Amino acid sequence: MTVLATVVEVGVATVQDSGRGGYQRIGVPVAGAWHRLRYESACRLLHDTVDAGMPAVELLAGSLQLRFSADAAVAAVGSATLTIDNRPVATGTVVHVHPGELLALEAEGPTYLTVSGWSEAHTLGSCSTDTFSGLGGRVLAVGDELRGEPVEDLADRVGTFQRSVPDALGPIRVVAFRQSMASDFFTRRWIVQRRSRSGIRLRSAGWAGPAGSVDSMPVLPGTVQVTPDGEAIVLGPDGGLTGGYPVVGVVASADLDRLSLVRDDESLAFALTDAPTARAAWATRQRRLLKSFANPRDIA
């Protein structure tokens, strides 16, 4: 395979795709992009589809610089500034990068970069990086190469753009399992203590938490657990698959992306919802996403 680009500088960045679904029964976490809407947007911009195994750089913090060795089309979506050879370039748009040019991203939040022709090795059907277990993918470092087969005809996608799709506002919605906790858990403000792709730990003043543990049960990204020492844990894409802490509920899929945006010491609120409302919110999110793309050739 051809070297498309080489990493010159990198912050907190991994290779991700849509995740490693279907293997939870044998203990393999889903992993995949933490902010799925931004990942899906970057893929749709460049490839006009989202298929399992389509790689993207997930840049959570810091900068990413790539020196290109071949012609490529790229798309970056997220909270970042993008330059090519120090020329400002819009994010949310497919642009052409020429051999020898330096692409630089400065991330203020989760940002996803897709590169035409780039391919990655797959483990259990996915190139995503599970940062907790170390399964699959890779954490990018200076000197790493993005390899693949250069795409000869880039004109069809270059210029494709996305209208902004803002993240939801207000409390993070949770489909509750333990109604007995609802009167207390959902009326509190929660402060972010620590965060990683495995999950987010939160604390609320005066919250004691339930005593003891429960029988181990299956959990998934977005599961809200509470511990005896007064913390709440919301699992991320690299979180475990079983847990013995009491479970309040699961974050609605439409709000899962928001977990990747939180910062240390930020105050969060949760709102009680039900499964039908959560499903409707997800359907609305998907419709908004599909309507947000435009190709200049289609407009003309």
**What secondary structure does DSSP assign to 213-238, as a single string?**
----EE--TTEEEE-TTSEEEEE-TT
SS3 content of the chain, % helix, strand, coil (to 5): 15, 40, 45
Q: Over 90: is that where the pLDDT of 206 sits? A: no
Residues 138-144, mean pLDDT to the nearest whole number? 97
**Same domain? 158 vs 200:** no
Q: 97 with 120, same domain?
A: yes
Phi-psi region of 290 (alpha: psi -120 to 50; beta: other; left: phi over 0): alpha
Q: Is the pLDDT of residue 255 over 70?
A: yes
pLDDT of residue 133: 84
Q: Which residue has the higher pLDDT, 241 or 129?
A: 129
In this structure, is residue 35 part of a structural domain? Answer: yes
pLDDT on residue 97: 96
pLDDT for residue 179: 62
Is 294 a domain residue?
no
- pLDDT tens across 39-48, in order? 999 999 998 8
- From 143, 162, 181, the end of a domain falls on 162
Q: Is residue 87, in this structure, part of any structural domain at all?
A: yes
Which among 133, 162, 191 is the end of a domain? 162
Are 205 and 158 contained in the same domain? Answer: no
What is residue 298's predicted lDDT score, i.e. its pLDDT?
67
Residue 300 scores a pLDDT above 60: no
Cα–Cα distance for residue pair 94/80, rounded to 1 Å:
15
Long-range interactions of 206-210: CB distance < 8 A, separation 24+: 207/232, 210/181, 210/246
For the chain, how many structural domains are there in total? 2
Q: Are residues 124 and 20 in the same domain?
A: yes
Q: How confident is the model at residue 211 (pLDDT cuts 50, 70, 90)?
A: low
The answer to whether residues 193 and 277 belong to one domain is: yes
Q: Are residues 241 and 156 in the same domain?
A: no
Asked if residue 8 is part of any domain, the answer here is yes
The boundaries of the domain holding residue 280 are 172-289
The reported pLDDT for the residue numbered 181 is 63
User: Average pLDDT, stretch 168-179?
Assistant: 84
Mean pLDDT computed over 263-279: 94
- Give the pLDDT score at 267: 94
Instruction: Indicate whether 17 and 153 sit together in one domain.
Output: yes
Q: What is the CATH number of the domain that holds 213?
A: 2.40.100.10
CA nearest to 144, candidates 234, 217, 33, 55: 55
Residue 183 confidence class, pLDDT cut points 50, 70, 90: low
Q: What is the pTM of this model?
A: 0.93
**Residue 13 scores a pLDDT above 60:** yes
Higher pLDDT, 7 or 150: 7
pLDDT at position 52 is: 60
Last residue of a domain, one of 132, 162, 192: 162
